Amino acid sequence: MSDEGVLLTVAYDGGPYAGWAPQKNATTVAGVLLDAVRALRPGVRELRGVSRTDAGVHARGQRVAFDAPAGIPTRGWALGLTSHLPPTIAVRAAARVPAGYDPRGHTRGKRYIYTILHDLLRDPFLESHAWRVVAPLDLGRMQAAAASLLGTHDFRAYRSSGDERTDTVRTLRRVEVLPDLADRRLFRVVVEGDRFLYNMVRILTGTLVDVGAGRLDPEAPARALLSGERGALGQTAPPQGLTLDEVFLTDEGDDRWPP
């Protein structure tokens, strides 16, 4: 029986996991998902995910592909995997793609959303899904700083030291700080772009919070684009507020279920 490719859209709560990528002696999202895939097709060797999210980071639209012997319809993959996954990981859609399909080669952009909770006290319903900030935040200052990051720039200042890539030019199509009209304690930083550096969104968000709290001036994020100095920026936001919201692909496959 020949192999075919399967493309999944996967959502997960990253709190219980040591990140996406498989690791020895650690429970990861990819490891748990691969076990579920192998429960249906034991011969599957690997998963090809788009984003290697860190420990504690969440996803609504992670994209994952693998090759498996033909015979299970996309509806069967979506429903069958659900029965083998914990409540913290969910398959949201399945589609058919050519064998060997790697979603990383078809990615045209990603959207991340970072949730900030402005509250003096902890909220147990948001503890693992938002960064609680006590200091008052000036939304106007944050929005002005965010707007200065739009476009194509060298974002080398916006990466952690572990990122050694020499190509650090990225294009951000959207950088917004939006209040939640239903819960005025919440703010969301929405960042959409072609590619991202390691911890880029968390450094960007931490910097915007420092601007909003008055610890940095609103021009600091733009100046750092020119200087390339990480020290000119603010803190790195913690992982629990970050969600990989959507991955945009040039090829979504066929026979998607649910339609």
**Per-residue model confidence (pLDDT) at position 164:** 86
CATH code, residues 108-244: 3.30.70.660
Domains of the chain, residue spans: 3-101, 108-244
**Per-residue model confidence (pLDDT) at position 237:** 98
pLDDT tens digits, one per residue of 20-40:
999 989 999 999 999 999 999
Query: Which parts of the chain register pLDDT below 70?
Result: 1
C-alpha to C-alpha distances, 175 to 60, 124, 150, 191, 237, nearest whole angstrom: 19, 28, 6, 5, 16
Spot the catalytic one: 13, 54, 210, 245.
Answer: 54
Same fold flag, 3-101 and 108-244: yes
Which candidate, 228, 137, 224, places its Cα nearest to that of 187? 137
CATH code, residues 3-101: 3.30.70.580
pTM, rounded to two decimals: 0.96
Catalytic annotation present for 54: yes
**Per-residue model confidence (pLDDT) at position 161:** 87
